Chain A
């Protein structure tokens, strides 16, 4: 087998020594958008468009988040996360904040060896098109011990894609619990009020102090002309610069979707009107119970999220579901869900739960962090 090196041997260290089999960040190329491809009127913390990426927001104006095709040229990306400011916040409040956040499960970052003398350095890389030049801040947060570290970088040209490569030290003190809870979070700051900027930037791991988190961050929320684009988010174990960091690990759409489904599963994905959700049995004239299986084990027992009109259909009946679908016995892989109707089911008969004659009903299993 022949190896092709790009640049010097040292410049290929990340490729040759990468300890993780798959990208640590899921959906870093912003391909997967199970919830929606656009959401208007965002003013608070939420996860609405790109899977696995949320915002952290408050007092920073109003935004529309979309999946966009404006991407850096020649990098192989096809999608980006776009934020369009629709109500500006030129003068930030003390508690104003806006960032894009990604959270890792604790068990997925044990390779960092945090809390030991072998704690690994980390390098975050991404492409960003910011409306503002000047200082921008990255922040890492360790949930189990409430510790953080931040890193400043400079945007040199507004409204132009720039590749950011920033390294942080390993945390030799805080231990990330080996579980399925929030272990490590990364935030790309876009605006921050004085509560988050009035201290000294935490350039070394320390107990969390909000005043030291986003010191120096420019205000990207100061005009409705502002649009922000982010894609190609990757995290590498080790310390790298723009020359030595490994290329982005592109995953197939199917692989990326499959990994996202640990956190959100949409069984009606791709279906139209009368799209089938599940097969069930009628326990009475008003109750149908159905079994749903997730394609991958979910992070935890999920929330059932529903909207729109479902119906229970069998031999000569198809009454509408009239109340919230509820979990009867939910697991992380399979669950029994109860659907209630006003009347019309035949006890003992098999039935399917499906959308009615429209394609707007939603049913999702949500186990996000």
Chain B
């Protein structure tokens, strides 16, 4: 499983995190109510770092 940050192509701000797990890709919005984003934050809190945005 990998995480990569995603910047909005129109405004350039961080708008989400892309998770890749095998053939399944998830676009996770920056939203603390979202369970996938909560898991991402836990992953970061464990000392991991997402790949930088393009």
Which stretch in A108-116, A192-200, A223-231, A297-305 binds the other chain?
A297-305
- B residues near A325, Cβ cutoff 8 Å: 25, 27
B interface size (C-beta, 8 A):
21
A328 to B31, CA, bound (A): 13
Bound form: Cα–Cα A269–B27 in Å: 20
Cβ-defined partner of B36 (8 Å) among A303, A306, A308: A303
Contact yes or no, B29 A327, CB < 8 A: yes
Q: Does B45 contact A (CB under 8 A)?
A: no
A303/B10 contact (C-beta < 8 A), A326-B15, A328-B15 known:
no
Q: Is the CB of A300 within 8 A of B26?
A: no
- Nearest-CB distance from B42 to chain A (Å)? 12
Cβ of A211 under 8 Å from chain B: no
> Does the CB pair B27–A181 fall under 8 Å?
no
Q: Are A301 and B8 in contact (CB under 8 A)?
A: no
B-facing mask of A357-369, CB < 8 A → 1, else 0? Answer: 0000010001111
Are A303 and B33 in contact (CB-based, < 8 A)? no
Cβ of B6: which chain A residues have Cβ within 8 Å of it?
326
CA distance A366 to B16 in the complex (A): 14
In angstroms, how far is the closest chain A Cβ from the Cβ of B54?
10
Do A326 and B36 touch (CB < 8 A)? no
Residue of B nearest to A324 (CB): B25
A22 at the A/B interface (Cβ < 8 Å)? no
Docked CA distance A369–B36 (Å):
9
Chain B min CB distance to A43 (Å): 14
List 4 additional A-B contacts (Cβ < 8 Å) besides A305-B26, A367-B34.
Answer: A180-B33, A303-B28, A324-B25, A326-B16
29 contacts between A and B (CB under 8 A): A180-B33, A181-B33, A300-B31, A300-B34, A301-B29, A303-B27, A303-B28, A303-B29, A303-B36, A304-B26, A304-B27, A305-B24, A305-B25, A305-B26, A306-B24, A306-B26, A306-B27, A307-B23, A324-B18, A325-B27, A326-B18, A326-B27, A327-B15, A328-B15, A330-B29, A338-B9, A362-B24, A366-B26, A367-B35
Q: Sorted from nearest, which 8 A-B pairs have the closest CB atoms? A: A300-B33, A304-B27, A324-B25, A303-B36, A301-B31, A307-B24, A326-B27, A301-B29
Chain A residues with CB under 8 Å of chain B are 180-181, 287, 299-308, 324-328, 330, 338, 362, 366-369
